[in-house]
Amino acid sequence: MTEELNPITGEPVIIAPQREDRPNVYDGAPCPFCPGAESETPPEICRDGDPWRIRVFPNRYPPTEHSEIIVESALHDDTFDALAPDHAQRVVELYFERYRALAAKTAYVCIFKNQGRKAGASIPHLHSQLVGTSFVPARITRESDAFAEAPNCPLCDLREHPLIAESENYRWIAPRGARLAYQQWIVPKAHEHVIDEAHELAALLQSSVRAMSAISDSFNWAFVVFPGEPRGHWYLELLPRIAAVAGFELGTGTFVNTVTGVDVARLFSRIEKMPWTY
Ligand SMILES: [Zn+2]
Ligand SMILES: [Zn+2]
């Protein structure tokens, strides 16, 4: 894998032709994440449970040299919302642990999930990924700069954004200015740039997966973090995948969203009535 720069803006692009070789389980390849296929993956970094219920290993078809996979269940057809609460929490704790390990040797680490074909997954078996890059991606730089220049942190005061639900430490919102239909953010209430509260976050992620399942069988989520920018406020973006990103969006970077945040919050808070008892 190598990096090339956009000739106009200088923004980096990762060139990783070896990713073309990865198996597509949707097209009939055997699942390399199922129990019994452990030898199909690179040596494990860690596992949870005996027999295992979570496995972490380097990506065999990595987009960058610091790319890891977290297989989140031994069951091929499991879904994140169906995990026992302590199991989902352990997955989120592993996000944080592997994030810290990779952040120590890279400029930026993205923790993300591709679930379903329309979200870019090639393997349906429940998993998430971490990709560490040698550069800070353009979106992160742009948002870091915006936080640094804002008179007040735009994520500390979310009164203008439709609220789906909240826990003691997080707000789950359908933000104004969302690029895609049914986009949500989970935002920590405290302005901190460490990420460490896993219990409530896992429960909110499970709630969001249940709500998004009513809209699409495919979704992405990604942590958006701002290491090195104390005015940055991390959040998690969740995107059910419905329509393909089309010519206008690709040609301009401007998105046409067909669903308002008010409607998303109304629908999702009705689907997912959460008994928040902490
Ligand atoms: Zn499998
Ligand atoms: Zn803030």
**Has residue 122 been placed in a domain?**
yes
- Global pTM exceeds 0.85: yes
The residues whose Cβ lies within 5 A of ligand 2, an ion, are: 153, 155-156, 191, 233
Q: Which of 80, 90, 72, 103 is nearest to 225 (CA)?
A: 103
User: Minimum-distance ligand to the CA of 75?
Assistant: 1
Q: Quick check: 59 pLDDT over 80?
A: yes
CA of 173 to the centre of ligand 1 (A): 32
Q: Amino acid identity, residue 104?
A: A
Q: What secondary structure, in 3-state letters, does 71-106 show?
A: ECCCCCCCCHHHCCHHHHHHHHHHHHHHHHHHHCCC
Q: Quick check: 272 pLDDT over 80?
A: no
Residue 217: which domain range? Answer: 2-271
Tally of domains within the chain: 1
Q: Quick check: 275 pLDDT over 60?
A: no
**Has residue 277 been placed in a domain?**
no
Question: pLDDT by residue (tens digit) across 201-246?
Answer: 999 999 999 999 999 999 999 999 999 899 999 999 999 999 889 9
Residue 256 maps to which CATH number?
A: 3.30.428.10
**Has residue 278 been placed in a domain?**
no
CA of 54 to the centre of ligand 1 (A): 12
Question: pLDDT by residue (tens digit) across 101-157?
Answer: 999 999 999 999 999 999 999 999 999 999 999 999 999 999 999 999 999 999 999
Q: Quick check: 185 pLDDT over 80?
A: yes
